[in-house]
Amino acid sequence: MTAEIISTGAFVPEKTVTNDDLSGIMDTNDEWIRTRTGIGERHIADEEFPNDEKAFVLALKACERALNNASEKAKTEKTASFKDRSDIDMIIVGTSTPDFSFPATACRLQEALGIENAAAFDISLACTGFIAALSTADAYIRAGVYKNILVVGVDVLSRLIDWSDRGTAVLFGDGAGAAVVSASDSESGVIKTVLHSAGSGAKALYSKSMYFNEDEKAGMSMDGKKVYDFAVRKTPEVIREAVESINCDDVKYYVLHQANIRIIEAVSKRLKEPMEKFPHNIGRYGNTSAASIPIMLDELEREGRLKKGDLICLAGFGAGLAYGAVLLKF
Ligand code: UT7
């Protein structure tokens, strides 16, 4: 029994903020941001979204898309376990910027999606949140406990941004991505998951809980160089661990957390794998934290770049310092 991703969905808010917009409010410029990060613009959940619904609404829209895509697929293809959303028996949300301390974002989504009797909870692991959620879903399915799991990555990093700190403000954007993961006895599905935390570096990237601050901005502290070095060192390591049972030549795409195009290029170089195998959209979205991997995956799917049987390796890294990878057959 494997855990197969049968559909994806993603959503980003309409409002974009370009590098030139940012250079109007802080001491930065398009050239610096593009050459140092690869980012051109990012989507921000502005006043259009009530403050207590930002993560919820982005995630809900991504989930609706993933569930509709799964239902469409179930009509034409033989999907072993999933027929419609009533089959969902677990919802796992990776987020570190929920609207509420409780209930879990997953419980709010469950109610809004009309899914009864499912288990639902959130996982907080920052930019590695989607990898942690997908690994958890894989474990439950492999153990035979649940059959159809909605796995979500959503973050609203803009709510933490200090717009006077050019070192972090230019990097992040808001968004959500989701995947329907189903028990399958086909060839497709997760082959291996690997999840680690370094056990050091917790102070390299952090944001205090919002209730530490009277104003709504909790702010963010980042040692950019430390996080960069960690990502470039540990991401190839964890990918090697995930793909050890197969030949790297057979991997079609490495879908990495989109934090910095230079990190992606450095990983490509260290793995001696061509950049064509590393799809990226950071130019349009910035770093959307737990959402970046499922957004990228959904983009590949919608563009028809994923074919049945393709081997894909997902890899995430970030605050913790945590990192992980999932090797799967599409
Ligand atoms: O999801 C995980 C989350 N975080 C990350 O992945 C971040 C990992 N780190 C990085 O991506 C990079 O370290 C950054 C993009 C954050 C920074 O790039 P860098 O090449 O390490 O630049 P730096 O911090 O060494 O700064 C170089 C210069 C400094 O000026 P001086 O001291 O050389 O005069 C900065 O003050 O660039 C300056 N600088 C900026 N200039 C214009 C820093 N931010 C900006 C900015 N615009 N936004």
Summarised one tens digit per residue, pLDDT across range 175-215 is: 999 999 999 998 899 999 999 999 999 999 999 887 666 56
Distance 224 CA to ligand 1 centre (A): 6
Q: Measuring from each residue's beta carbon to the nearest atom of ligand 1, which residues come in under 6 Å?
A: 28, 32-33, 36-37, 127, 166-167, 170, 205, 224-225, 227-228, 231, 259-260, 287, 318
| Distance, CA of 230 to CA of 196 (rounded, Å) | 13
The yes-or-no answer to whether 2-186 and 190-329 have a common fold is yes
Question: Is the pTM above the cut of 0.85?
Answer: yes
Strands (E), the chain: 2-11, 16-18, 41-43, 90-94, 119-123, 148-156, 174-184, 189-197, 205-206, 221-222, 251-256, 311-318, 322-329
Domain boundaries defined on the chain: 2-186, 190-329
Marked catalytic residue, from 63, 107, 127, 313: 127
Closest atom of ligand 1 to 127 CA is 1
Chain segment 7-44, per-residue pLDDT in tens: 999 999 999 999 999 999 999 999 999 999 999 999 99
Rounded-to-integer distance, Cα 183 and Cα 178, Å: 17
Confirm whether 281 is a catalytic residue. no
For 170-182, letters b (16+ CB in 10 Å) and e give bbbbbbbbbbbbb
**What are 97's two structure tokens?**
């910027």
Neighbours of 276 (CB within 10 A): 9
Q: May I ask the CATH architecture of the domain 2-186? A: 3-Layer(aba) Sandwich (3.40)
Asked whether the predicted pLDDT for residue 217 surpasses 90, the reply is: no
Q: Which fold has domain 190-329?
A: Peroxisomal Thiolase; Chain A, domain 1 (3.40.47)
List the residue whose alpha carbon is closest to atom 43 of ligand 1: 167
